[in-house]
Amino acid sequence: MATFKEYRERPAENPIAVIHANHVLPPGARPIQGQRAGFVSRAIAAGIDVTLIFITVMLTAAALWMLSFIIDPTTAASNEQNRVPDLFIMVAYGYFLNWAYWTICWALSGRTIGNLVMGVRVVSRKGERIGWGGAAVRSAFCAVFPFGLLWVIVSGANRSVQDVVLRTSVIYDWVVGLPTLARVLGRTAYEPERVEDGQ
């Protein structure tokens, strides 16, 4: 398979590819495919992810709160505060959830839901998917030190602190179509084509 550079420069060979190229990607989107993404796209993607995690944490808290009434219906005044976990535990749970979510997504497909929306993908130094280890480390790094993303603004190569340290990149790679569970989990439909292209 061609690299992004070749892909961008190569003219489409058959009429269907021309139709596809003209209709699937919006005008002007083709030349940037495969380049490192800038700050805004990545920040929005991260914001979407963190928001989803936040909602999940809140739903978990609500579920626990409701569950507590089933387990202990008596409402003693002294008991009131124990119905919801402590803030510290909630935050830790949120961090853990975020770390696990990013790790799984980046290792399997290189894309979180936020990445899918913004059309970016995390790749290794060689432009491949980062492995489970790399994903776990990067995820932890991002969760602990989110301000590393700000380095993208001043970096000469659109890299965050995490990218510089772990030698990863976040590139524009627009998935056409809706983010589906299959895509998030890496069971993308593109695998057979890769086999085809290898032949």
Partner 1 sequence: MSDEPRQEVVLITRPAVPGPPNPMDTLREVISTSLGMAAYTASTMASLVEQTVTYAVESSVNAALDRLVPAIADAIVERLDLTDIVLEQVDLNRIVNSALDTLDLTQLVIDRVDIDEIVAQADIDRVIDRVPIIPLANFVIEEIDLPQIIRESTGGVATDAVNAIRVQGVGADQLVSRIADRMLLRRRQRKVEVPGDPESLMGESTRAESPMEEELTREQPADESLMGRMRDDFTSNDRSARITDPTRET
What residues make contact with partner 1 under the rule CB under 8 A? 1-5, 7, 10, 12-14, 16-17, 19-21, 24-26, 28-29, 32-41, 44, 110, 117-119, 121, 123, 126-128, 153-158, 169, 171-178, 180, 182, 188-194, 196-197
Structure tokens at 53: 């995690």
Structure tokens at 27: 């005008």
Tell me the C-alpha to C-alpha distance, in Å, between residue 53 and each of 100, 107, 135, 188.
11, 18, 18, 23
Nearer to partner 1, 67 or 153 (CB): 153
Shortest distance in whole angstroms from residue 132 CB to partner 1:
18
Nearer to partner 1, 19 or 62 (CB): 19
Shortest distance in whole angstroms from residue 190 CB to partner 1:
5
Which of 147, 99, 117 has its CA nearest to residue 48? 117
- Three-state DSSP at 193 gives helix
Shortest distance in whole angstroms from residue 138 CB to partner 1:
16
Shortest distance in whole angstroms from residue 161 CB to partner 1:
15
Rounded Cα distance, 168 and 110, in Å: 11
